[in-house]
Structure 1
């Protein structure tokens, strides 16, 4: 079974990089102030969220060999909004046990602190496990048509959490571990895909997951979207943040 390991395998399968939302809708302007766009060579590559003024949380498969430009505080990536803040990454810290499939999570240190405003905010990390009753969305600036159609503004789509048992059954031979969350859209062919990689699964106002991989066709419920489970990595995230405070208090 083909797997959308969004950036890497997806590039091979579909000639695209990143992950994208299909079947979604325009997010209300600046309603997701934690969202970050990771950009390389002038284009959007992955999503992420601001978890500290100088740190963005994203997926390990988004790691590249050069620094990212990180943009926060915008609704449209093509406009010149006065609320925009731009940064450069100075350190990439993927999870040490990332193996190209599991533990798909990474922290990026920025070259300076973000200025928190109404359009630029931190998001809290979920401590508990999400359930099927959680109210969840995922957001991103990726392709909205599964055909390299880019949106003019940030997109979002509702996510329904499904059980690990159901997810494992649908994925078959692909391992679904306890540190992953599976979800589907409310109808067929709704979900994430290329360009949304590293973006958040937000449940009940907290970030619960990181966009990791999906099937060969975006939003196909036969191969549910898979997110890295934040609650499984809170201790690692906290340790990384605490160990990377150099120059932070002096900025």
Structure 2
């Protein structure tokens, strides 16, 4: 059975089309755990560093090509001195991923990142997320539902809602958590950050961005802590 968060979208564009209302530019290097997963120089998904040589992302981000993993940057178009580039050499999508449920994946890097002020690990959230908890969604994804990727890292505040609201959407699984949120194409695999730890992975959005009748979904990380631990500790892992 799927372990997911259901999240509601409520946003429109500013008049200049550059930002999502309620969102903002992240302060440079204030989210040092963020990783950009790129194919031939183009961003495809987001992720977070959970060990010096592992990135956590979404299983639906798996591709036949190797990812270039970029960390330590605020802007994807600049050449910041803090930038580090690595290669994802092994991928570990959850074995029970079925296109929606269990949408979580670990990427093994070809070497360890150098931890600096601009490159840091993020902890996995433990325990429940209570109603009205303030969290963040972070990413370089589409800023206008029109294939225009963000020039700099974006973040938006999200707030948890009650379980009755979740049940009103009649999702296939009872194991859901609802929040007010805002993510778009290109943010897949990025984090839901609560209390300084990552609590969810951006999974998939509704049919139309900003439509609260088709809310967005995050994978619940707390349900996969043991699997994450086992993958990071395994030896001679098979490449997928």
Same fold (TM over 0.5): yes
**CA distance in 2 between partners of 1:36 and 1:163 (Å):** 31
Aligned residue runs from structure 1 range 183-194, under 5 A:
183-185=179-181, 191-194=182-185
RMSD: 1.7
Q: CA deviation at 1:42?
A: 1.8
**CA distance in 1 between partners of 2:56 and 2:223 (Å):** 14
Q: CA deviation at 1:163?
A: 3.4
Which secondary structure state, in structure 2, belongs to the residue aligned with residue 215 of structure 1?
Answer: coil
Where does structure 1 lack aligned partners over 5 or more consecutive residues?
A: 1-20, 186-190, 247-251
Q: CA deviation at 1:244?
A: 4.4
Q: 2:227 aligns with which of 209, 219, 236?
A: 236
How many residues are treated as equivalent by the alignment? Answer: 218
Aligned residue runs from structure 1 range 204-223, under 5 A:
204-223=195-214
Residue 200, structure 1, aligned to residue 191, structure 2? yes
TM-score, normalised on structure 1? 0.82
Q: CA deviation at 1:130?
A: 1.0
Q: CA deviation at 1:177?
A: 4.5
- 4+ runs deviating over 4 angstroms: none
2:83 equivalent in structure 1: 84
2:58 equivalent in structure 1: 59
Q: CA deviation at 1:92?
A: 0.3
Change (3 A) 1:78 1:231: same
1:44 equivalent in structure 2: 43
Assess if the C-alpha contact under 8 Å between 2:132 and 2:161 holds in 1. Answer: no
Q: CA deviation at 1:235?
A: 0.5
Q: CA deviation at 1:141?
A: 0.3
Assess if the C-alpha contact under 8 Å between 1:181 and 1:228 holds in 2. Answer: no
Residue 103, structure 1, aligned to residue 109, structure 2? no
Where does structure 2 lack aligned partners over 5 or more consecutive residues?
A: 1-18
CA deviation digits over 1:202-251, x for unaligned, max 9? 001100000011211223222222110010000100111111489xxxxx
CA deviation digits over 1:112-163, x for unaligned, max 9? 0000000000000011121223220000001111112222100001111223
**CA distance in 2 between partners of 1:77 and 1:64 (Å):** 21
